[in-house]
Amino acid sequence: MRLNRHMFRIAATVVAGIGFASFGPTAGAQNEPRVQLEDLDVTVDAVGNARFVDKVTRSAMEWEQYKENYGGNPSLLKRDLQHHYSSTELRDISLTNDDMNRVSTLSWTGDATTEYIGNGQWEGRLPKGAKATKVSETLWEFTVSYPDEQGITQETFHIHLPKGTRGAEQAQNETGDPVLRYTLPDHTGSPLPWLAMLLGVLGVALLAAGFVLGPATPRSPGAAAH
């Protein structure tokens, strides 16, 4: 679950295009560092794919900068996403802009967002520094902050795990990165072969018992005289 800071990186990549406010003591002194709030909903399905919906509300100035950077070519967002979610396969990327309320909604599906690690266990990577809180068995949330050239971006993640998930916990993988680990029983196997085998074994056992265990109904001595 590579839920990383794509917006921060995008901002860093196009730092040239967003006002350069940090340079020069004048600009730095006049403007309070802005805090940009983002909400990212991540809905994971039973095979580790996830649907991401990233909703960002911007100030008037930020909206102008955003439109300047991406307005004419929103496919740039796709390229940036692909760079920063290398370990997933992206599809169904879409962007809607609500100009009246200065809200952009970027959504995409990331295949292989979480990975099956065996014994019914799955694992998804979290951003560095994430401390996820359990809201319910299938809902986890956390907020991470990223400094950028203009201030701070605070991104709140809402992770919806598949139905039937149990035992979810935040852990560390072998490289020390934070991960969200959960158990989802594997229902892909059919019980029919096991049932057939059980019935067959029982049948053979009973049949064998019918031939082997003890004599058939004993004959009476009188009948033997005839």
Binding to another protein, residues 155-184 (CB under 8 A): none
Nearer to another protein, 120 or 139 (CB): 120
At 13 the three-state DSSP class reads: helix
Residue from 213, 223, 224, 225 binding another protein (CB under 8 A) = 213
Measured distance CA(120)–CA(159) in Å, rounded: 19
Residue from 16, 60, 223, 225 binding another protein (CB under 8 A) = 16
64 contacts: CB under 8 Å, gap ≥ 6: none
The answer to whether residue 206 forms part of the interface with another protein (CB under 8 A) is yes
The answer to whether residue 202 forms part of the interface with another protein (CB under 8 A) is yes
212: tokens are 């082997």
The answer to whether residue 131 forms part of the interface with another protein (CB under 8 A) is no
B/e letters for 148-181, b = 16+ CB within 10 Å, e = fewer, are bebbebebebebbbbeebeebebeeeeeeebbbb
Longest dimension (CA), the chain: 127
The answer to whether residue 216 forms part of the interface with another protein (CB under 8 A) is yes
Measured distance CA(182)–CA(136) in Å, rounded: 13
The answer to whether residue 32 forms part of the interface with another protein (CB under 8 A) is no
Pairing, β 115-118 against β 151-160 = unpaired
Nearer to another protein, 135 or 204 (CB): 204
The answer to whether residue 112 forms part of the interface with another protein (CB under 8 A) is yes
Residue from 39, 115, 123, 137 binding another protein (CB under 8 A) = 115
The CB-of-196 to another protein minimum distance in angstroms stands at 4
18 contacts: CB under 8 Å, gap ≥ 6: 11, 65, 69, 149, 150
Query: Residues in the site for another protein, rule: CB under 8 A?
Result: 2, 4, 9, 12-16, 20, 22-25, 28, 46-49, 73, 75, 79, 83-84, 86-89, 111-112, 115-119, 186, 188, 190, 192-193, 195-200, 202-211, 213-217
